[in-house]
Amino acid sequence: MSAAIQLKGKTSTIHQVAFELRYSDGFVFLDKAGRTISAITRDYPEWIFKGGDVDGMSVVNLVNGCICTFSRERIAIRLENEMGSEASLGAEDILEFSRQVDLLTDLIVDHLGIKQFTRIGCRLWHLFPATSVDEVGRWVRSLGLISLNNSIQESFGGEIETSDFVIVIVGPEWKFRIGMTSIERFAHLDIGNEILNVKTSALSKNQKEVLLKQQRVKRQLKVNPRYSAQLDIDVSQENPIILNTSELIRTASEDVAKKLAGAMEA
């Protein structure tokens, strides 16, 4: 089962999903951070302490690599697919992420005695592969979600290369921020203990051959698709009274895709 989005002949790869809860009364964080970490690792042994200081504490999940950070101002939990992986985060990954958000949020909120919430949000990044920046631009315009007056390119005497956009819609329950950007992804190189990110277009032919050889022989190099359109979905609510985290994540991961498809059919 997949949580990917299909739009105009392209299927997305879900690169990352993130949850954030902000609050204004986490003043006991410094006093209770240690006990909160102990409770997390005791009750949920798949989570281990990652590090921390007066600005925040972090734990990481040994099963799927999910990272949770909490401080006196917010809880942030994120899950991403392996760097360079062609596999998308699937529906089961999102469902497990939602379960982890429920468990950790409830525990941390309870231990810190938080009562006043200022914002809750969930964000997903979808990547649609392409062969060039031009293809990304044409594909984004073909979605029909935005329109541009031809006078803008005529005025400048050129051609539109990209049509990146951000739309913010305030609904009765959720605020939706939908963004589309053209990106050139990176090659991920393993060079001993150092990690270097470089644009694949910046590599010479010989360098690319070396990278491909390294990938085949050592499996230490993973190269992402060179170009892609990134769909950035952010669903949020200001000053929530009830923390319905599972409904929020379901809305961001499922409902938005249906709404986008419906908008293109209209």
- Collapsing DSSP to helix, strand or coil, 112 comes out as helix
Range with lowest mean pLDDT among 24-33, 166-175, 197-206, 240-249 = 197-206
User: What is the pLDDT averaged over residues 91-118?
Assistant: 95
Q: Measure the CA–CA gap between 127 and 248, rounded to whole angstroms.
A: 21
Pairing of strands 222-223, 186-191: antiparallel
List, for residues 56-74, the tens digit of each pLDDT value: 999 999 988 999 999 999 9
Q: What is the pLDDT of residues 116-162, one digit of tens each?
A: 999 999 999 999 989 888 888 888 888 888 877 778 878 888 877 77
Is pLDDT of 173 > 60? yes
Q: How many of the other CB atoms lie within 10 Å of CB of 153?
A: 13
Residue 193 — φ and ψ, nearest 5°?
Answer: -90, 0
Q: Which residues pair with 195 in a beta bridge?
A: 190
Question: Residue 21 forms beta bridges with which residues?
Answer: 75, 120
Joined together, the tokens standing for residue 131 give: 């062969």
Q: What is the mean pLDDT of the chain?
A: 83
Which H or E run includes 227? Answer: strand 227-238
